[in-house]
Structure 1
Amino acid sequence: MTQTFRTAIVTGGSKGIGAAIALRLARDGHAVVVNYARDETSADEVVASIERAGGKACAVKGDVADPHCLTYLFDAGEASFGPVHVLVNNAGIMDNGPVGSVSDADFEAQCAVNIGGVFRGLRAASARLADKGAIVSLSSSVVGLYQPGYGVYAATKAAVEALTHVLAKELGSRGITVNCVAPGPVETGLFMAGKPEAVVERIRQMNPFNRLGTPEDIAAAVAFLTGPDGRWINGQILRANGGVV
């Protein structure tokens, strides 16, 4: 564990990819605000893991679909650890189905979290992130693949990528980098739930490495973009998917 020198907010940081990102950023020397919407126990476990390793973290409840959530997360980060240098917009939801069968409620829920939550995070960071900071939002490799059943989800993530391209130009004068990481299939509890092994194996075989990604694979990409070696990378979409095209 290196000495803490920056503060990071990770939305949806209690489990899966978000938890791996929080743990990795803490290992790299960040004090981490671990945001969660419902699972307080998992968020507390992430914080405890960081603290056992000598790092600093706090768990903060909030649903990114709430217009006030990101303001509250920045307030909590600044009060606990000082100026916020890194924002990772990880929180997201997915409800698959053919476009013709998606209800208004499902459409609006995905837009509220996947677009609205990221937009408000980017807006808050525009005003409050420290100069020479870094923003990483999670997109998805379904943008570009355009698979049946992923229409609304892919549309929300395409919007995240568009916001990223624009904000990178708007914040460049302050030395803030703005990028996306777009994972392919990742072996998390949420991804594996309800999938027969034959389906999982078929998805593995879509990848040149014949495996699923891991949360740590994605966390490593985020760590690169938020770390000193990523300072010349800006306005980019890093498709962290092992070569699925």
Structure 2
Amino acid sequence: MPDHGIKGKTIIIAGGAKNLGGLIARDLAAHGAKSIAVHYNSLATKTDAEATLAAIKAAGSTGVAFQADLTTAGAMEKLFDDVVNAIGRPDIAINTVGKVLKKPIAEISESEYDEMSAVNAKTAFFFLKEAGKNLNDNGKICTLVTSLLGAFTPFYAAYAGTKAPVEHFTRAASKEFGERGISVTAIGPGPMDTPFFYPAEGEDAVAYHKTAAALSKFSKTGLTDIEDIVPYIRFMVSEGWWMTGQTILVNGGYTTK
């Protein structure tokens, strides 16, 4: 049987410099990953990427970092080429890239829609494409989506709507890559306590989200904490390999399908 553990594996994390992506990188290094490639979007995040690399190396893993805007197929192909050249073919590929917009449909411009589609759907599609081409057999792929895929709510049409295609991308990729033993999943956290959450929400909305999950009062913030999500990511890219083609909502009872 193939080895489905983390120890000794080579990993690429898109959006891996900080917040959830950075914590995933640190966690997988602590669990014995051999090498981790951290992608970050812009030079503004370079310092965070360097701090994450330092933590990866302190845990005994090899770390490399690459900056790229991944909203074109060429940029995604180059990222995977750079990773393969630097640390070898990945065993695990994790995509945490995403962009939030909370706005009524009537107020969303074409340029805003195009940007949301490029970041949330197009990037996810081409990440799956390049992961499928470059991963070793028996590899694992996991994409971060959102629990809003299970919600009936206004104002998130552009955000949840451009994350929704990833569910089908995940199903299709699991069928296409399955003959090589590659599992493909997506995880949809609830509203997370990160710097990306608060700018999009008013005080009333923040207060609501902090009490909306069934387990809210047991969370340190009332929201989904990034520490709550990391174990699920780790499981899905290791011993949880038998689940494939699925989108799992991890949100403390915030919503379901």
CA distance in 2 between partners of 1:20 and 1:197 (Å): 27
**Which position in structure 2 is the counterpart of 1:220?**
231
Q: Which runs of 4+ in 1 moved over 6 A?
A: none
Alignment partner of 1:232 is 2:236:
no
TM-score under structure 2 length normalisation:
0.89
Q: 1:243 is matched with which residue?
A: 253
Q: Per-residue deviation at 1:28?
A: 2.1
- 2:219 matched residue in structure 1: none
**Over the residues paired in the alignment, what is the CA RMSD in angstroms?**
1.7
The letter of the residue matching 1:189 is P
Equivalents in 2 of 1:51, 1:180: separation in Å? 28
Is the 8 Å Cα contact of residues 10 and 90 (structure 1) preserved in structure 2?
yes
If the length of structure 1 is used for normalisation, what is the TM-score?
0.93
Match status 1:17 vs 2:20: yes
Question: What is the aligned counterpart of 2:180 among 146, 149, 174?
Answer: 174
Number of aligned positions between the proteins = 243
What is the percent sequence identity of the aligned residues? 32
Matches within 5 A, 1:106-185: 106-185=112-191
The one-letter code matched in structure 2 to 1:37 is: N
Deviations 1:114-154, CA, capped at 9 Å, x for gaps: 11111111111121111100000111011120321100111
Looking at structure 2, the residues matched to 14 and 188 of structure 1 have their Cα atoms a distance apart, in angstroms, of 13
User: Following the alignment from structure 1 to structure 2, what is the Cα–Cα distance between the partners of residues 62 and 175?
Assistant: 29
Pairing of 1:17-36 with structure 2 (within 5 A): 17-30=20-33, 31-36=35-40
Partner of residue 202, structure 1: 208
Per the TM alignment, residue 67 of structure 1 is displaced from its structure 2 partner at its CA by: 2.2
**Partner Cα separation in structure 2 for residue 73 and residue 85 of structure 1:** 15
Structure 1 position 5 matched with structure 2 position 40:
no
Q: Structure 1: which 5+ runs fail to align?
A: none
> Which ranges in structure 2 are unaligned for 5 or more consecutive residues?
217-221
